[in-house]
Structure 1
């Protein structure tokens, strides 16, 4: 099995490097390639299989393949002893294949194939560990994503009057003609919001943490959740000013909610999941201000440090015997120095610490945001959200690395157990440090020139320091949030429960549909349909068969009786 993992790792790593250099070549010479194959032509509507190759698709694919190759190597150790490891690897390959369909296709029908594939495979992977919690999380994930699938189907219907589902070729027409474009725009935003877990579809993202950690690492860095942002990136030319404003408010609220929730959460994987939600909010925020290239830049950088963060979390959970509660952790710098170094680097990159890769995208986004004309409310909420990012990162570092050791006195923690996992993590560390500066030079031939007053320039640094201080304070006040006698306990439950989002969007809503389903089942399925349908038909056929059986049993008597009747009739007539 290790040989298969090594082979997959090598192949995907080579493909990733090829795609990366192809992306740079296409970017430098501003090339775009269409590969089109007509599958069906019916009633003026043509159905084509289209591949659209440009620098964006090549770059994104190279990052997805690179992270996938490292995760396969990592899984070889993490999932060691699993009987279904081969199935697990194949499922992840299917997941990456579905993502390729979304990335490469400018055709809404073939995007739906990849989109549906992502939802289906994510359900199978979330329910990989078979227990009630996994089944509930898997169903929540699948049903939330089904809303997006339905929205894409309605988008396909909206584009039917154009005569093709290839949206890139009709961009100018879409801007002029506004008959179905408004509905299409709404459907695309709805689909992207379900996949990227924006409010009110946020509750499935932390629930999907029931999946194995390598899956979480792949899903939250470069595949499932980023598909929504990528779709918005591709369709950004049809969004109206009103829709941009709507997206800005929703993504800002998502960012703020996720940042607050992560500060009160104690599950290690859920904290990192909420951090992903916060970063997705940041990407959609800057995209809704018209800077789609900046959003894509942050998407690539975020994929690197988020994959590393999940890998480090997985290594710690694996060593601790599958304990995920951060209150049991602490002082890991003494036991896992390399893992903690990797985790701290990815945490600092997430905060936007100067000259790590996250700084180059986040600082640019924050300063660009400050240049845009917006209200004081948006400005304050945005900077608060950025500060909360630093706060939960600092809190996580304190609980895991710097705080007191809270586990058993007798333990056998050792970093030597997970050497293969460390190799996978160390492959990402150097990119997390250097890739931001490299990509900022490569992707923006003309650098962003941002002029701001001194106090607005310093605002970012101030917010980072205040966030770090707040995170430290949260860590010190941990007993106040854990003790039920304090009023802060209820507040922490409310915030870590994502503003009651799971109750409002799932548990609070599904009871109505279940009750309606029960009524339909009782009154229609087991009622009128049963009476006039299968049951009634069965009784009718049974009665007929009894009559025919009676006739067949007494056929001679019946024959003689009929002859007697005919004879009497003939006598009466004549």
Structure 2
């Protein structure tokens, strides 16, 4: 009974909060208004450690979207996790996860932002290891240790900002742009954003985090954990635009979205394919931030959150009905047996590909056209075009394996769209996947960008998308012929399908360097000198002294005579 009450009350509260936040954010956006709240905790050497909150249109709108998607995920979890014995624990972890993200969104201060930043790391680790097996444990450790690099970068930037007289970074952007000595702070902030948003070389943890339950994946990969790094860089965008980190961030993000798109075309795990598509879109957001269009990145962040949450929910329904198989080769003909889920998944996929007049089109097409106009090198332009084609290519591959191939899960099966509890939040998110792009573009950009392109570049996105979709569908339609051809290039297929060996390299340095060093340190330190000068050494010293005191307490005449003689001899020597 308590689980039901907690589930319903938290879902209703988050849904109400989302409506209120979005409404207030629109008022603030139209009136160019913001609220800055500050509580002073301690004052040390003219430096105030304060808890601050900023309520402007950007933070409130993002908070509204996070609350809306979280409420839909909780609604969806009511059926998806109903047989789980630890449903209460799952609810508490998800609510703590959303609370940490809310702290991160509303914090313009590096001290208070650390509360949400570390809260996300802790709760994400608890959610990834939720099923408590070896695979989840390894994935959780990889996730936690990869994100700790960003946590250390935030802590170092806090120490470097001590000389500013405060940590409200929103007020110190002029110092970031004018003072040469503070460029290292920008390097640390960009490093923190790259680890949280899984840019190369920290990309391995994002597909590994798919070990978490599917509702958690829908929440993590749409609007919370992986978008925290993008949101942090959006807040620091003024300083990034005038720093030398722009070029580095642009190149890394372009390579990341190319690597993710290429890897998704060789992956067979349904959830990992969608996770790699998230990684590709994060690269798109990071690259447009590096080009200086932070509001456009925020626009794509919001539209992407809606259709990616819908995509994960549809994948969860399919996996739930397919005897918990996640291999897309075991699926097929789902359009006949699950028409509603198949239709909603196709809608989310089309929005991801940037199909005209869906949500993804308004943000993704504008990003591509702005990048074509901007000062982008030929390498960057090639990466953008190729990544767009690869996105539609692996979407066509998903359409083939899920919708139109031969059903191969087994003879006895019961697959249907009967779960109304899971269907209702999917229908709500589908409205966002269709309408949010147009509505948000009217609100955030009341004055349109002036885009001047030649006819070739104007139709480039459409041409590449159509070519990629046809290639992805037809290449997999060949079936066994394609499989036999791929065996001739087995090494290349393994390389591309394993994210360029990044998971192996990420765990290699951890096992070969960190854990071996920790073992030596434990042997020399904890079991060696620390014991000699620490607990065991102190115990032996006290044991010897206490035995001597015990002899004195025995009132032995011989002992007193010996001590008297020692005293007399010492006195004579001194005299």
TM-score (norm 2): 0.95
Deviation of 1:519 after TM superposition, in Å, equals 2.2
3-state secondary structure, aligned to 2:292: coil
**Is this contact kept in 2: 1:13–1:65, CA < 8 A?**
yes
> Does the 8 Å CA contact 1:41/1:47 hold for their aligned counterparts?
yes
Q: Does 1:428 align with 2:426?
A: no
Match of 2:97 in 1: 95
Equivalent residue for 1:414? 416
Alignment of 1:141 onto 2:153: no
Q: Counterparts of 1:506 and 1:211 in 2: how far apart (Å)?
A: 19
* CA pair 316-97 structure 1, distance change in 2 beyond 3 A: same
Shift in CA distance, 560/482, structure 1 to aligned 2, threshold 3 Å: same
Residue number in structure 2 paired with 1:195: 196
* Equivalent in the alignment of 1:512: 513
Q: Which residue of 1 aligns with 2:244?
A: 242
* Distance of 1:566 and 1:442 partners within structure 2: 95
2:303 alignment counterpart: 301
Q: 2:69 aligns with which of 32, 57, 67?
A: 67
Q: CA deviation at 1:521?
A: 2.4
The structural deviation recorded for 1:556 is 4.6
Q: Which shifted more, 515-524 or 263-272?
A: 515-524
Offset from partner CA, 1:441-485 (integer Å, 9 cap, x none): 111010122111111111111100111022113323554675698
Aligned residues of 1:481 and 1:488 also touching (Cα < 8 A): no
1 CA distance for matches of 2:235 and 2:478? 45
> 1:567/1:523 Cα in 2 relative to 1: closer, same or farther (>3 Å)?
closer
Shift of residue 499 of structure 1?
0.3
* Mapped partners of 2:403, 2:135: distance in 1: 29
Residue 476 of structure 2 contacts residue 482 of structure 2 at CA under 8 Å; is this kept in 1?
Answer: no
Determine the structure 2 residue equivalent to 1:109.
111
TM-aligned CA deviation for residue 402 of structure 1: 1.6
Residue 268 to residue 224, structure 1, CA distance change in 2 (3 Å): same
Contact 1:247 1:288 in 2 (8 A): yes
The residue that corresponds to 1:313 in the other structure is: 315
Q: Which runs of 5+ in 2 are unaligned?
A: none
- The 2-side partners of 1:453 and 1:96 are apart by 45
Give the superposition deviation at 1:265: 0.2
- 2:156 is aligned to 154
**Secondary structure, counterpart of 1:224 in structure 2:** coil
Structure 2 SS opposite 1:41: strand
CA distance in 1, matches of 2:55, 2:486: 59
Q: 1:11 aligns with which of 10, 13, 25?
A: 13
SS in 1 for 2:436: helix
Partner of 2:530: 529
Q: Which residue of 2 aligns with 1:270?
A: 272
> 1:172-209 deviations in whole A, cap 9, x for unaligned?
23322232x20110000000000000000000000000
Query: Match for residue 185 of structure 1?
Result: 186
For residues 76-475 of structure 1, the aligned pairs below 5 Å read 76-179=78-181, 181-239=182-240, 240-416=242-418, 418-475=419-476
Task: Indicate yes or no: 2:556 matched with 1:555.
Answer: yes
How far apart, CA to CA, are the structure 2 residues paired with 1:562 and 1:443?
91
Equivalent residue, structure 2, for 1:42? 44
Mean alpha-carbon deviation: is it higher for 166-175 or for 452-461? 166-175
Deviation digits for residues 38-58 of structure 1 (CA, Å, limit 9, x no counterpart): 121110101121111111011
Give the Å deviation of 1:566. Answer: 9.7
Task: Tell whether the 8 Å contact from 2:101 to 2:116 is kept in structure 1 after alignment.
Answer: yes
Q: Once the two structures are superposed, what CA deviation does each residue of 1:146-176 show, in whole Å capped at 9, x if it has no partner?
A: 1101000011111110100001122223322
The Cα shift of 1:507 comes to: 1.9
Secondary structure in 2 matching 1:50: strand
SS of 2:489's equivalent in the other structure is helix
CA RMSD of aligned residues (A): 2.1
Q: Bigger shift: 436-445 or 467-476?
A: 467-476
CA distance in 2, matches of 1:68, 1:524: 46
The CA deviation string for residues 288-344 of structure 1, in whole angstroms up to 9 with x for no partner, is 111111100000000000000000000111111211111100101111110001100
Aligned residue pairs total 568
Q: Quote how far apart the aligned CAs of 1:13 are.
A: 1.2
The residue aligned with 1:27 is 29
Q: Residues 559, 97 of structure 1: CA spacing in aligned structure 2 closer, same or farther, 3 A cutoff? A: same
1:162–1:325 distance in 2 versus 1, CA, 3 Å: same
**Does the CA contact (< 8 Å) of 1:483 and 1:489 recur in 2?**
no
Tell me whether 1:501 sits opposite 2:521 in the alignment: no
Equivalents in 2 of 1:88, 1:569: separation in Å?
A: 75
| Distance (whole Å) between structure 2 residues aligned to residue 155 and residue 425 of structure 1 | 41
User: In the TM superposition, what is the alpha-carbon distance from 1:407 to its structure 2 partner?
Assistant: 1.1
Moved more, 360-369 or 29-38: 29-38
CA distance in 1, matches of 2:167, 2:428: 40
Q: 1:197 to 1:541 in 2, by over 3 A?
A: same
Report the 3-state secondary structure (helix = DSSP H, G, I; strand = E; otherwise coil) of the residue aligned with 1:48. strand
Q: Check conservation: 2:266, 2:497, Cα contact below 8 A.
A: yes
Q: Distance in 2 between matches of 1:485 and 1:340?
A: 29
Shifted more, 36-45 versus 486-495: the winner is 486-495
CA 305–556 in structure 1, closer or farther in 2 if over 3 Å, else same? same
For the 8 Å contact 2:486–2:493, the answer to whether it is kept is no
Question: Could you tell which deviates more after superposition, 378-387 or 300-309?
Answer: 378-387
Assess if the C-alpha contact under 8 Å between 1:308 and 1:343 holds in 2: yes
Q: Measure the CA separation in 2 of the matches of 1:491 and 1:477.
A: 20
Is the CA contact (8 Å cut-off) linking 1:221 and 1:303 kept in structure 2?
yes
The TM-score normalised by the length of structure 1 is 0.95
Distance 1:2 1:548, change over 3 A: closer
CA contact (8 A) 2:62 2:302 kept: yes
